[in-house]
Structure 1
Amino acid sequence: MVVIDKLRAVMGHQERIRNIAVIAHVDHGKTTLTDSLLAKAGIISLDQAGTKLATSTREDERQKGITIKSTAVSLYYELDPVSQNTDKAPEKEAYLVNLIDSPGHVDFSSEVTAALRVADGALVVVDCISGACVQTETVLRQALMERIKPVLMINKLDRAIFETQLSPESLYRQLRTIIENVNIILATYGGEELSPVYTILHPSKGNVSFGSGLHGWGFNLKQFASMYSRKTGVKEEKYMARLWGDNFYNSETKQWSKSQEKGYERGFNKFVLEPLIQMLKATKANETEKVEKMVAKLEIKVSQEELEQEGKQLMRKVMKKWMPVADAMLDMIIGHLPSPLVAQKYRTEILYEGPLDDPAATAMKECNPNGPLMLYISKMVPSSDKGRFYAVGRVFSGTVATGQTVRIMGPDYNPGKEKNIDLFVKNIPRTVVMMAGTVLPVDDVPCGNIVGLVGIDKYLRKTGTISTYDHAHNLKVLKFSVSPVVKVAVDVVNPADLPKLVEGLKRLSKSDPMVQCTFDGGQHIVAGAGELHLEICLNDLENEYASVPIKKSAPVVNYQETVSDISDRICLAKSNNKLCRLFMTSEPLPDGLAGEMEQGTIKFDQDLKERNRHLVETYNFDLDVTKKIWCFGPNGNGPNMFVDLTKGVQYLTEIKDTLKAGFEWVTHEGVLCEEVTRGIRFNLHDAHIHSDPAHRKGSQLIPASRRCMMASMLTAKPRLLEPVYMVEVQCPSSVVGVVFNIISRKRGKIISATELDGTPLSLVRAHLPVNESFGFVGELRGNTSGQAFPQCTFDHWQLLPGDPLDNTSQAGQTVREIRQRKGLNVVIPTLDNFLDKM
C-alpha cells in the first residue's frame, strides 16, 4: 500500500494531478480495466488484475456483475519523465491519479453525473464488438456538458480475434467505425462553445488505445511506434502517422504508399495486428518454440517457469509482460488529459454561480491553494459507522484541513439573504483520502484533489458547497440526464418500527444522488429512475439504512397533467368575500417549449431580451406577451407559464405575489388527480380588485386564483401525460421478430432496426411507455433465451390515450386509480365546483 506521506507530497503539485472518471455503456469493461491501473499502483497484485474487480465494493455489485455506485480511489505512480536529460540518469516523476469508476447502467447515470463534476478528464471505454451504444452517447454528452476532456479505450479486442475471428482488415474497419462514431458524438455535443475540451480522437495522436481488460494487455500506437523506432532508427512520430489510416507497406520493396496496390498491406494490419494475433494464437495454442522465439525477438522478460504455463495462463502472462494495459492507459491519462491547473481555467465559468471576478472565482481559475476554500460535495458515501457518511467532493481552490472552520452551503443557500436556513458555520472533524472501499486519514488536502470529509453529513442533504469566503456563491447544482419517474410506497411490517423507517429514508436519500423520498397522501414514497434503481434502493433501505422488515407496493409511474386546447370560455372566480374577481383562461404551450424550460435552455431569470427574442423567433410569441410573463412554475423554473394579459387594472401589482402563489399551488397539484402540470400557459385576462387592502389578502385571493386556474384547465380539454422510455435492444438478428412482438404488445412503437456492421447482431430502437416497462427485461430475456439485452432511458412525455374525464377510457381509468391511491374522491370534481357566475 502506498505511504500516505508520498501521496500528500504530490497533492501539492497540481500539474502532476489527474482527476478522471471511467465512463461507458453497461458491461463494456470499466471495472475490469480499472483493476490494471490499481495493480500498477501496487494496490492489488498484478495476477489479480482483471478478475478481482477491486472497485466493486458492494455485495450486490458482485452478484449482478455491474457497477451500482461510483467508487473513488487515489493512485500514486512514479513514471519515467517525458523529456529526459542525457547527462544523468533521469529521476522518476511522481503522479497522482484520482480515479472514479462509475456505473454504466442507465438507472445509475446520476452516479456518473456526480463523478464527472469532480473530474477533469474521462476515460471512455467502448466494447469493440458492440461499439458505441446508447449509454456511451449519454455519458459522453454529460461529460461534454461538464467540460470534461475524453480519451478512448477500445476494450475486448480478444473477443474480436478469438470469437468473431475477423480478418485484420475487417477488424481495422470495425475499430475505425467505432472511433468515427465516438467522434461524431463529440462533434454533435461538443461544438464550438466547448472548444477547450473538444478534441478529435485519433490513434496516431495517442489519445486512443486498444486492449483486453480481462487479460490485462493493451496498447496505443506509441508503444508499437517506439518498438519499431528502436529497431530501424526511423523517428517515432513518423511511425505513429503511418500505423493508422490509408498507409500501405510493401515488404519486398520496403516502400510506403497512400493507396492499396498489389503487394501492399495496410500499416496497422502489418505492423500492429499481425504480430499481436500471432502472439495471442501461439500462446493460447501452447506452441512453445514459436512463443520462445517471439519472446526473445521482442526482448520480453519472461521466466522459464512462466513459459511452462499453458493456454490462457501463458497468454495472459506473456501479453501482460509485453504490453501491459495500464501503461497504455496511463500514457493517455497523463499525456492527453488536463491537470487541475489547466482544466479549472475553463471549467470555473460553468461551475461558479457568482461573479467571475470575485476572490473565490479568481482562486478557482488559478487553482490557488492559498486562496479562499471552494469545495463542492458531489455525493455521500456510507462510512463504517452505521448511518454516517463521508462527504466526497473536489477542492477547487484553497486547502481543506482537519479542524478548519468553514461555511457549509446547501443547494438552497442564497448569498443575498440575511438569514439563510441552508447555511451552517462549523468545524471539519476529519479529512480523508478515498481508497476504493477504505479511507486513509490526511491532515489537509490542497485544491485540485478529491477529498472525503467526516462529520459534515449532518448538515448536507446530498450535495453542497463548502467555503471560507463570506461572500461566496454556490457551485452549480448537478443536472441529471434521467428523472425519477418510477415510485413505490413503503411501509413497515411492524408499526413499532416506523421511526426506524423514517430515519432509514433520510439516510437512503443521502446515499443516492437522485432517489427522492417523500411523504405524500399518508404514505412514504420512494421514487427512482427505473425498476433496477428502485430494487437496489429498497434493498439498501431494508438491510442497511432502516434495518427493519418493510413491505412495498407495486411500482407506480409518475404522470403529469396538461391541456390540449384553448379554454372554451373565460373563467371567473370570486374571492370568498365576493369583493374581488379574477378572469382567466389556459392553453397548451407550443411543442418543444416545455422541454426547453425543463432543460434550462429557457429560464425565467435569464437575460430578458435574449429570452423574449427566442420566444418570438422560435415559438411565434407576441413580443408584448413576452414582456408580461409573470413567472414559470412549479419551483420558479418549471415547464408552465403565467402571463398577464390585462389592461389598466388597478392594484394589480399589490396582488401579483398572491396570484403567483395560487399558480405555484396549481402547477404542483393539477385538477385531474393532483399530479404536477406540464406545458400549460395560464392567462390572466382581467381582475376587479377591492381598493381596501384588508379585502384583497392572500387568504381571499390564493384560493380564488387556484379555483380560476382549475376551471380554466377543465375548459381546455385536460389530458394526462405519461413518461416514455427510449429502448435500445441488442440481439441476434434471428430473434428480432420476438423483440418486435413483445414491444408492440406493450404499446411500444418501433423506431428502427439496423444490423450492426461486421457482427451477427441487430440493434432495435423503440419508444416504450414506462408504465408498460415493468417486467419487460425479464420477459425479453425469457423469450429470447437471454440473447436480447435491453437498455431503457427516459426520453419524453406523451399524451395517454383517451379523455381523462371519460371513465371508460384508459386515461380515465388511470386518473381513478391515482385518485384512489392518494385517498381522494375517485370522481373528478365538476366545473361547477370551481367556476363562479357573475
Structure 2
Amino acid sequence: MPAVTPAQLVSLHKDRSHIRNICILAHVDHGKTTLSDSLLASNGIISAKLAGKIRYLDSREDEQQRGITMQASGISLYFNIINTASEGEEQKVIPNEYLINLIDSPGHVDFSSEVSTASRLCDGALVLVDAVEGVCTQVLNLPKNCLIVRRRRHATAPPTTHPPCSVPIHTQTITVLRQAWTENVRPVLVLNKIDRLVTELKLTPIEAYVHMTKILEQVNAITATFFTGDRMEDEARRMEQNKMRKKLAGEVAGGEDEAGELENGMFDWNLEERDDSHIYFDPALGNVIFSSAIDGWAFRSVGIFYASFAPGFSVQQFATIFAQRLGFKESVLRKCLWGDFYFDPKTKRVLGHKHLKGRALKPMFVQFVLENVWAIYENVVLNPNREKTEKIVATLNLKILPRDMKSKDTRTLLTAIFSQWLPLSTAVLVCVVEQLPSPEEAQRTRLPKMLYPHAEPLSEPQTALERALFDCDAGDDAPVVAYVSKMFAMPEHMLPENKRKQLTAEELRERGRLQRAALKAGQDAAGESASESGYIAGDDVPVSPSPAAKSTEVSSTAESQPPVATPDPSREILIGFARLYSGTVRVGHKLWVLGPKYDPAHPDRHCSEITVENLYLLMGRDLTTLQEVPAGNVFGIGGLEGHVLKNGTLASTKECKNLASVSLESAPIVRVALEPTDPSNMHKLTEGLHLLNQADSCVQVMLQETGEHVILTAGELHLERCLKDLRERFAKCEIQVSPPIVPFRESIVTAAITRSPTIPDLPAFKEKDGVSQPCGLVIITTPNKLTTLHVRAIPLPANVTQFLMQNAATIKAILDERAARTSARRADEEEEGAEARVAVVAAAIGTEKVIEIEEFKSMLTKEFESAAGSDALWSGIIDQIWSFGPKRVGPNILINRASGHSRRSFFRTTPVSDKPAAVAAPSESRPETPTTALDEEDEVVADAATRQTGLTVRDLDQAIQTGFQLATIAGPLCAEPMIGVCYVIEDVVINVAEAQSGDARAKLGQIQGQVISAMKEVCRQAFLEWSPRLSLAMYTCDIQTSADVLGKVYGVLSKRRGRIISEELKEGTPFWQIQAQLPVVESFGFADGEFPGGYHLSKRFQTAA
C-alpha cells in the first residue's frame, strides 16, 4: 500500500465520528509491538516483510537491544472502508475514512506508569493475551501494587504434549485489565500467538479450543471482580455521603437511626440490579480477535462484511463464508459459530450440547475455523507438502508469487498465504471501528467520572463547560480543555521546525527560477549605476569600493535580515503528550495550566498562563507540525516546560475543574543516591535531575537533608533507563551511583533474641533498683531538671499493626478534615467551613481504602478487643490514643495515661481541660460543650492566672508529640522508621517550684526543645528494653519451573536467603508451582542469569511488618 501522507491524516481531524483513540495493553513479550508493526505496514510506513522485526515504535536504542518497549509511543494511522450501494442498475462506491490514533504501551511492570498515561488518553484498548501463557489463577488475588518479572521464553524450554489444565494469567495482564476498567476504556481482547499452540504445544484443534475457552473464562472472571468491587464501593460511598450530610445537618440523633438507615441501605442495595452482560468478552459479540501477529493473520468469528477494506485487501469473515456454503442466515450463524454448538451433517441443523446424544461431533468453531488454520500450518510448516499447499492456495483463490511458493523458508510462504487470506491489520482495524467508541460517544461516559471522581456520575451536563466536554464540541466558541498525561523529551534538532525541509522536484525548480530572476535583476541594477559609482570621468578603469564601505554594506545587510537560530544538538526539549476534550487549540493561544491541587473556588492558586508555541502530530519517532488541533484528538504540544511537572490540565477558562490525576499501578521503591564523578559537574546533575523528573512520569527525585540527590524508580530496569538518560541526554556527565537503598523497618517483639524452647519470652515486669516495674518503662529528666517523663514501650499486636498500615489513607483523611475545619473556624467562615467538610469527606470516601471516622474507630476497637484476650492492657485503649506516627499516619501509637493530664483523644471532637500537672486532681475536668475545634493547638487551656504565672503539661503537649514523631521516623538500630510500637505516657512530672516561676514562662521555647529531645531519647531507650528486630521488605515470589531444574531453583533461593512457602505439581503439566519469600535487599539481579531456562517468575512486594 502506498504511504499515507500527513496531509491525509490532518484532513480527518475534524470528523470526530470517524476518529478512534486506542492503546495496546499487554504483559511483556505478548506481541504488542509486533502487532503495531503490522498496523503500520498497512499505511506504508514500514514494509510488511519487516513487521515484527523492525519494532518501529521502539525508538530508543536500549529498547531495540532488549527487545522490550520502555515508553508509550503514539502514531496516527489511516484506514479506509469502501462500501458499495446499489442505485438502480449502478453500484455506487461509498468510502469511509477513519483516523486511528494508536498508542503502544510497555508491558514490563517497571513501566506501568506509561500504561496509566496511555490509557487516560484513549477511549478503547486492544488487550493482548498470549494464547499459551494466558492469565495465572494462582495470582488472581494480588494487591494492586505488585511487581512481576518474567524471563523471556528460553529456546531449550521443554514443550508439553498435553493441554494445561490451569492456564496461567500473568499479573501484568490483570494490571492492564484493571487499568482499562479504572479509566473506563472499552477493551477488545486479542488472543495472540495462536501459532504456538500448533508449533510448540502440538495441540489438536479441539484441545486448542478448550484451552482458549478457559482463557476467556478466566479473563471474564477477572472483569467480573472489577464490576462487583465497583458496585460495592458505589453503594458504600452513597450510604456514607448521605449519612455525612445528615450528620452535618443535625438529622442523625442516635444509634437507632443509624442502624435503621444501614438496614434500609442494605435492603435497597439488594434490590438494585445492573446489567453486566456488556462488560464480558465473547467471540459471538465480535469483541474477541484470534491472531498470530508474527505470522500476520487475525480473524473474528463474526463481523460485518464489507466489500473492501483498503487497496489490495479483500476478506470475508467466517460467519459470512460459511453462511453462504451451508445455506444459513448469517445472523443465525453468528450466534452459533462460537460456543457449544455442533453441526449435524445429516440433517444440516445446528445442535446444542444437550442434543448430541453421545455423538462425537466437533464444535462448529473447531470444524469450520480452527481446522482450516491448522491445515495450513500442517502442510506449510510442520510437514511441508507442496501439492496440498497449492491446492489450499487455489481453493482460497489467493495469488502467491512463484518465488514465495518455491522459498525454502516456510515462514515466508506461510506469511504470504495468511496475509492475503486473513490479513491482521484488516481484521484488527475493522474490529476497532466496529467495537470501540468515537470521542463523541466515549466522552459522554468517561468525562463525568474524570470531572467528579468521588461523586455519582452526572447523567446530564449542568453547565456550558460540562456540555462542551460531554459532547466533544470542537467549535470556535467552545472552551478549550485538554489533559497532558505526561511529558517526554526530544533533542531540539529533531523537532520538525529545526529540520531541513525536503523539497519536492517542483519546489526545487521554482526555487531555481526565483534565484535566477533575482540574480538578473541585481545585474541589471548594477549596470545602470555603474557610471555613477564605479567609474571616474575620463577613465576606463573601474574604481573598487573601499574595505570600509564593504564592511558597512555587509553589516547593514546582516542587520536587515533576522538572525537564524541554530538548534543545539545536545539540548532536550519537553513535549506534552495530550488529549483535547473540547474546543480547538491553535498555535499562539493563551491557556491556563491547572495543577493537581487546583480548585476553581480559589482560581488564583496552583495555576499559570502559557502560550502554545507548537502543536505536533505524533508519528512514532517523528513529529509533524500542526497549526491547530480540534477536539477528540491526541497530539503533542510545546511550551509547557516549567509549567507542567508530571501531568496537568490545560484550559482556556479557570472555571474548569482539574481532571483527576493518573493512578500509577507500580509505585517506585528502588532508591539510589547519585553524585557526579567530577564535583564541578554538580550543576549539570541538578539540571539533569530536573529534566528527568519532568520527562519520566514515575520517577521521584528528592534532595536529602544531608545534601544527597536521591531518585526512586519502579525497578532495576527502570533505574537502568533513568541512569542512561541522565548520563547521555539530561546531565551529560559521569555519575556515581550508590548501591540500591531498600526499605527496612524497626520493631520490637516479646520473644528473646535467640529462639529456643529453653529460653522463655521476655517477662512483662522486671526488677530495677529493687522495684518491680513494667518491661519497657523508662524514666528520663530534662537537663534543666524541670520535667520528668515516664514512658513505656509495648509491642503492638500484629493484627493492629496490619490494620493501621492498610488504613493510613484514612488517618490522613481525618487529619486533612480537621485542618480544613480549623482553617475555616479561624477565618470565622462557618458556612464555608461546612462546605469544606463535605468536600473533604466526600473526597475521602471516594478514595481507595478510606473509610469514615466512626467506622474506622469501630474497626480499630475490634482489632484491639481481639488482642485484649491475652493482654488486658488493650482494653479501652481506643479513647486514650493521642497520635499516630511517624508523619502522624504511621503504624505506631502514642497513648496518654498521664495522671492529672486529661487531653482530647484522637477520635474525640470535644476537648477536655486539665489543671496544672503539679496541683490538678485527676477527676477534675471542664464540662463538655459542643464545639468544632479540632486541632491540637485549640485544646482547652488552664485558667488564665496559671497561664500567666506558671507552666502546665498542656504547654508541653506539642513538644511531647514532636518527640514521638522524631523517634518513630528514625529508630535506634539503623535510623529506619519504626513499625508496630505503642508508646504509653505513664506520667509527666513538672517541678512545681520551677514551673510557677516567671522565668519558666519566659524560657518556654527552650523548655519545649529539651522536652522534644528527652521524649525522643526516652522512646529510643524504651524501644531497646524489648527484643528489637529489623524487619525486611519481602517479595512473595511465584515460580513455575520444570522438575529437572527444581533443585537449582532451591539453591538460588537459599543463596539469597529465601524461604519456601509451598510447592505443588500442576496436574496435567510437567511444571512445579513454587511460592517463596525473598528479601528485597537480595532480589537485585534475581531474574537475570541465575535461573536455568524454562521458568516464569512473578514477584509481589510486601511492606516490612
TM over 0.5: yes
Structure 1 residues 747 and 233: alpha-carbon distance in aligned structure 2, compared to 1, 3 A threshold:
same
Normalization by structure 1: what TM-score? 0.84
Establish whether residue 590 from structure 1 lines up as the match of residue 800 from structure 2: yes
Residues 1:266 and 1:275: Cα distance change in structure 2 (over 3 Å): same
> Is 1:392 aligned to 2:392, yes or no?
no
Q: How does 1:302-381 map to 2 (within 5 A)?
A: 302-310=400-408, 311-352=410-451, 357=462, 360-370=465-475, 371-381=478-488
Q: Deviations over 1:281-310 (max 9, x none)?
A: 223355333223222322334445544444
Q: Find the residue that maps to 2:71 and give its secondary structure.
A: coil
Give runs of aligned pairs for residues 606-645 of structure 1, distance below 5 A: 606-607=841-842, 611-620=852-861, 644-645=904-905
Partner of 1:171: 208
Q: Which of 60, 84, 103 is the equivalent residue of 1:100? A: 103
1:515-546 superposed Cα distances (whole Å, 9 cap, x missing partner): 12222223222221222221221122112221
Query: For residue 261 of structure 2, what is the aligned residue in structure 1?
Result: none
Q: Give 1:226 shift.
A: 1.7
Tell me if structure 2 keeps the 8 A contact 1:585–1:709.
Answer: no
% identity of equivalent residues: 32
Match of 2:732 in 1: 547
Provide closer, same or farther for how the CA distance between residues 213 and 761 of structure 1 changes in structure 2, counting only shifts above 3 A: farther
Q: Please, which of 284, 299, 308 is the counterpart of residue 397 of structure 2?
A: 299
Please state how far the C-alpha of 1:360 moved relative to its aligned partner: 4.6
- Give me the whole-angstrom Cα distance separating, in 2, the residues matched to 1:14 and 1:392: 19
Contact 2:963 2:1015 in 1 (8 A): no
Q: Does 409-418 or 240-249 show the bigger shift?
A: 409-418
CA spacing shift, 1:470–1:191, aligned 2, 3 Å? same
**Cα gap change, 1:759 to 1:569, in 2 (>3 Å):** closer
CA RMSD of aligned residues (A): 3.9
Q: Distance in 2 between matches of 1:638 and 1:778?
A: 35
- Secondary structure at 2:219's aligned position in 1? helix
- Structure 1 window deviating more from structure 2 (291-300 vs 172-181): it is 291-300
Q: After the TM superposition, which residues 696-775 of structure 1 pair with which residues of structure 2 at under 5 Å, given as runs?
A: 704=1011, 708=1015, 711-712=1018-1019, 715=1022, 720-753=1030-1063, 760-775=1070-1085
Q: 1:426 to 1:625 in 2, by over 3 A?
A: farther
1:273 counterpart residue number: 370
With over 3 angstroms needed to count, the CA separation of the structure-2 counterparts of 1:174 and 1:600, relative to structure 1, is: farther
Question: 1:160 and 2:197 equivalent?
Answer: yes
Aligned to 1:510: 694
Tell me which of the two structures has the higher relative contact order, counting C-alpha pairs closer than 8 angstroms and 6 or more residues apart: 2
Alpha-carbon shift at residue 272 of structure 1 (Å): 0.8
Partner of 2:1095: 788
- Write the mapping of 1:195-214 to structure 2, written as runs, cut at 5 A: 199-214=279-294
Q: How does 1:780-819 map to 2 (within 5 A)?
A: 780-781=1090-1091, 784=1092, 786-793=1093-1100, 795-799=1101-1105
Q: 1:338 to 1:681 in 2, by over 3 A?
A: farther
**Partner amino acid, structure 1, of 2:359:** K
In the TM superposition, what are the counterparts of 1:186-265 in structure 2 within 5 Å? Answer: 186-191=223-228, 193=230, 199-222=279-302, 223-259=317-353, 260=356, 261-265=358-362
Does the 8 Å contact 1:730/1:763 carry over to 2? Answer: yes
Q: Specify the SS of the correspondent of 2:1094.
A: coil
Distance 2:473 2:1004 in 1: 52
Q: 1:777 aligns with which of 1059, 1066, 1087?
A: 1087
Contact kept? 1:224, 1:272, Cα under 8 Å: yes
Which of these residues, 668, 674, 679, is aligned with residue 490 of structure 1?
Answer: 674
Question: SS state of the match for residue 204, structure 1?
Answer: helix
The aligned residue for residue 621 of structure 2 is 437
Segment drifting more, 64-73 vs 750-759 = 750-759
- State the structure with more CA Rg: 2
* Partner deviation per Cα, 1:356-380 (whole Å, 9 max, x = no partner): 7565545433333344333222212
Contact 1:612 1:626 in 2 (8 A): no
Aligned partner of 1:728: which letter? D
User: Match for 1:287 among 364, 371, 385?
Assistant: 385
Cα separation, partners in 2 of 1:563 and 1:158, compared to 1, 3 Å:
same
Q: Tell me the distance in 1 between the aligned counterparts of 2:809 and 2:86.
A: 52
- Given that 1:40 and 1:46 are in contact with CA atoms closer than 8 Å, whether structure 2 keeps it comes out as yes
Code of the residue aligned with 2:937 in structure 1: it is: E
Q: Could you say what secondary structure the match of 2:50 adopts?
A: coil
Unaligned ranges ≥5, structure 2 = 136-169, 232-273, 303-316, 493-570, 751-763, 765-773, 815-839, 846-850, 866-875, 896-903, 906-910, 916-932, 940-956
After superposition, the Cα gap between the structure-2 partners of 1:439 and 1:715, relative to the gap in structure 1 and judged at 3 Å, is same
Give the direction of change, closer, same or farther, for the CA distance of 1:725–1:110 in structure 2 (3 Å limit): farther
Q: Distance between the aligned counterparts of 1:410 and 1:753, measured in 2? A: 49
Residue 697 of structure 1 and its aligned partner are, at CA, apart by 8.4
- 2:744 corresponds in structure 1 to 559
Moved more, 734-743 or 662-671: 662-671
For each residue in 1:590-615, what CA deviation from the matched residue of structure 2 results, as whole angstroms up to 9, or x when unmatched? 25434443577984343589512431
- Aligned to 2:294, the other structure's residue is in SS state coil
Partner AA of 1:647 in structure 2: V
The answer as to whether partners of 1:154 and 1:209 remain within 8 angstroms in 2 is yes
- Aligned 8 A contact 2:811 2:889 in 1: no
**SS in structure 2 of the partner of residue 514 of structure 1:** coil
SS in 1 for 2:645: coil
Q: Distance in 1 between matches of 2:423 and 2:631?
A: 32
1:552 to 1:141, Cα distance in 2 relative to 1, 3 A = same
Contact kept? 1:50, 1:216, Cα under 8 Å: no
Pair 196,423 (structure 1): closer, same or farther in 2 beyond 3 Å: farther
Structure 1 position 462, deviation (Å): 1.8
Tell me, yes or no, if the aligned pair for 2:296 and 2:418 is still in contact at 8 Å.
yes
* Distance in 1 between residues matched to 2:275 and 2:989, nearest whole Å: 56
Structure 2 partner of 1:117: 120
Alpha-carbon distance between aligned partners in 2 of 1:576 and 1:464, rounded to the nearest angstrom: 52
Change in Cα spacing, 1:349 to 1:695, as seen in structure 2 (3 Å) is farther
**Residue correspondence of structure 1 range 457-536 to structure 2 within 5 A:** 457-520=641-704, 521-536=706-721
The superposition leaves residues 744-788 of structure 1 with CA deviations (integer Å, 9 ceiling, x where unpaired) of 44333445545567654444343322111022123533xx1x333
For residues 691-729 of structure 1, the C-alpha deviation after alignment (integer angstroms, 9 at most, x for no partner) is 999869888758856864674576466754432223333
Counterpart of 2:831? none
Judged with a 3 Å threshold, the aligned counterparts in structure 2 of structure 1 residues 367 and 163 are, in CA distance, closer, same or farther, namely same
Gaps of 5+ in 1: 800-838
Cα distance change of structure 1 residues 315 and 487 upon mapping to structure 2, 3 Å threshold: same
Stretch moving more, 225-234 or 674-683: 674-683
Of residues 128, 131, 134, the one that matches 2:134 is 131
8 Å contact kept, 1:32–1:51: yes
State the one-letter code of the partner of 1:264: L
From 45, 53, 60, the equivalent of 1:58 is 60
Contact 2:490 2:575 in 1 (8 A): yes
| Deviation of 1:461 (Å) | 2.0
2:608 counterpart residue number: 424
Q: Would you say how many aligned residue pairs link Structure 1 and Structure 2?
A: 793
Q: For residues 534 and 335 of structure 1, do their structure 2 counterparts lie closer, same or farther at Cα, with a shift above 3 Å needed?
A: same
2:47 to 45, 60, 65: 45
The amino acid across from 2:1048 in the alignment is: V
Q: Which amino acid aligns with 1:484?
A: P
